[in-house]
């Protein structure tokens, strides 16, 4: 027997759960399908979420449930540790310069997922199903989603939140561009002697970024990007040797390092779907785009997918999967996804290349950012929210125009 649903979401990661909450908030009966065990019990990764995503979590009533495990990010610092002839100066981006108390918060994935899952299960319009999507078929008026438990749903819209190997994307015949990097990211967490003062430091090495991100207390998370041939050696290190290696890469800025969790390795690659929405289908998160963990852009981009999904669903009416609705979603996402993917790709490749003009260009750009405060503020705001820097620049003029309109209305 086929069951009815307004929207079916495949995948229950953070973006899938956030999308379910937004769809339900718009009044749609939503099915969230994913097998149990989606979350790894030993996942030591964390996510640095910027203010727009934090605002969304607050709106869901979720942030309070994971705030205790999170740490604010007040300064983002970039250090050139390449040892090359042309090295960029150290650049510090301070939230206060951009008018924020903090850029966002670093949240352990387990805490974030648990808090979102609690909110999803409490919503009357969301049905969670412990099964994966095994097939999707379409006609002009509906999509038919078959689950691994044998259930089939007839729905107006399928949201693919099912990762880089998205079955929804494949079923909808949406192609993608993919490429890989000669890099693997090791993730771990560790204690340190000195407090981080809520500063996240990204050391740029010839193999990729070595990034320390604050956690509560004298503890931080680590994303260490290296060439694959080094991974087994580092993962096989004794705890004390690994702690010393981390301390050396941190240039002892946080003092003695200890209590390092067992590292986990994640090969790096990138993906961009050819389209993010077509009739009966919309893609979010890593089903739509994926790239290396640089500049805290990955999951933040996924949450912006969810925000734009919510914006088009709020005006979609009875048919949230209509071709016109999907086209609006696709157009809203294109510029943001392409710019972020391209920017991260260029930055990552600039670390790997030995081509001197590229090294000089990177050093020159960071020097300009360091020395020109207004430009640094613009970059910070754009990094947090697309268009944020331009809105800030236009603020005084918009305010003046608003005053004129108010005076005219009063007259």
Per-residue pLDDT of the chain (411 residues; tens, 9 = 90+): 799 999 999 999 999 999 999 999 999 999 999 998 665 556 678 899 999 999 999 999 999 999 999 999 999 998 988 876 667 788 888 999 888 899 999 999 999 999 999 999 999 999 999 999 999 999 989 999 999 999 999 999 999 999 999 999 999 999 999 998 899 999 999 999 999 999 999 998 888 899 999 999 999 999 999 999 999 999 999 999 999 999 999 999 999 999 999 999 988 889 999 999 999 999 999 999 988 776 567 899 999 999 999 999 999 999 999 999 999 999 999 999 998 888 777 777 766 666 556 666 666 666 766 666 776 667 777 777 776 655 555 554 445 444 433 333 333
Question: DSSP alpha helices (H): ranges in 144-260?
Answer: 167-171, 228-235, 239-249
Q: What are phi and psi of 38, to 5 degrees?
A: -60, -35
Question: DSSP alpha helices (H): ranges in 274-315?
Answer: 298-313
Model pLDDT, residue 385:
72
Model pLDDT, residue 404:
36
The CA distance from 223 to 200, in Å, is 11
The CA distance from 29 to 51, in Å, is 29
The CA distance from 77 to 195, in Å, is 15
The CA distance from 4 to 156, in Å, is 9
Model pLDDT, residue 365:
66
Which pTM does this prediction carry? Answer: 0.87
Q: Give the containing element (helix H, strand E) for 63.
A: helix 63-66
Residues near 65 by Cβ (< 8 Å), separated by ≥ 6?
111, 114, 115, 118
């Amino acid at each position: 027997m086929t069951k009815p649903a307004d929207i079916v979401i495949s995948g229950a990661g953070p973006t899938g759960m956030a999308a379910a909450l937004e769809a339900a908030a718009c009044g749609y009966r939503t099915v969230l399908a994913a097998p149990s065990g989606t979350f790894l019990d030993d996942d030591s990764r964390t996510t640095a979420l910027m203010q727009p995503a934090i605002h969304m979590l607050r709106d869901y009533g979720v942030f309070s449930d994971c705030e205790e495990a999170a740490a604010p990010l007040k300064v983002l610092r970039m250090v050139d540790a390449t040892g090359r002839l042309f090295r960029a100066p150290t650049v510090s981006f301070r939230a206060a310069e951009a008018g924020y108390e903090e850029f966002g918060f670093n949240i352990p994935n387990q805490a974030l997922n648990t808090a979102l899952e609690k909110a999803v299960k409490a919503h009357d319009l969301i049905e969670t199903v412990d099964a994966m999507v095994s097939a999707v078929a379409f006609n002009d008026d509906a999509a038919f989603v078959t689950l691994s438990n044998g259930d089939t749903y007839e729905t107006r819209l399928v949201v693919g939140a099912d990762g880089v190997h998205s079955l929804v994307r494949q079923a909808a015949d949406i192609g993608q561009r993919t490429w890989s990097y000669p890099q693997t990211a090791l993730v771990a967490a560790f204690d340190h002697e000195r407090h981080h003062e809520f500063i996240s430091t990204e050391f740029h090495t010839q193999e990729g970024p070595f990034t320390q991100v604050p956690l509560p207390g004298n503890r931080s998370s680590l994303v260490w990007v290296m060439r694959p041939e080094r991974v087994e050696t580092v993962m096989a290190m004794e705890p004390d040797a690994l702690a010393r290696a981390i301390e050396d890469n941190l240039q002892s800025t946080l003092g003695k390092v200890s209590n390092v969790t067992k590292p986990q390795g994640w090969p790096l690659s990138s993906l961009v779907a050819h389209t993010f929405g077509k009739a009966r289908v919309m893609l979010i998160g890593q089903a739509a785009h994926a790239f290396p963990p640089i500049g805290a852009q990955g999951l933040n981009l996924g949450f912006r997918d969810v925000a734009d999904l919510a914006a088009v669903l709020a005006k979609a009416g009875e048919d949230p999967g209509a071709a016109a609705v999907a086209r609006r979603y696709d157009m809203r996402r294109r510029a943001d996804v392409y710019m972020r993917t391209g920017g991260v790709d260029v930055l990552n490749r600039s670390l790997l290349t030995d081509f001197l003009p590229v090294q000089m260009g990177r050093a020159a750009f960071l020097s300009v950012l360091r020395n020109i405060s207004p430009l640094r503020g613009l970059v910070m705001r754009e990094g947090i929210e697309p268009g944020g820097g331009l809105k800030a620049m236009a603020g005084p003029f918009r305010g003046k125009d608003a005053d004129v309109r108010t005076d005219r209305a009063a007259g």
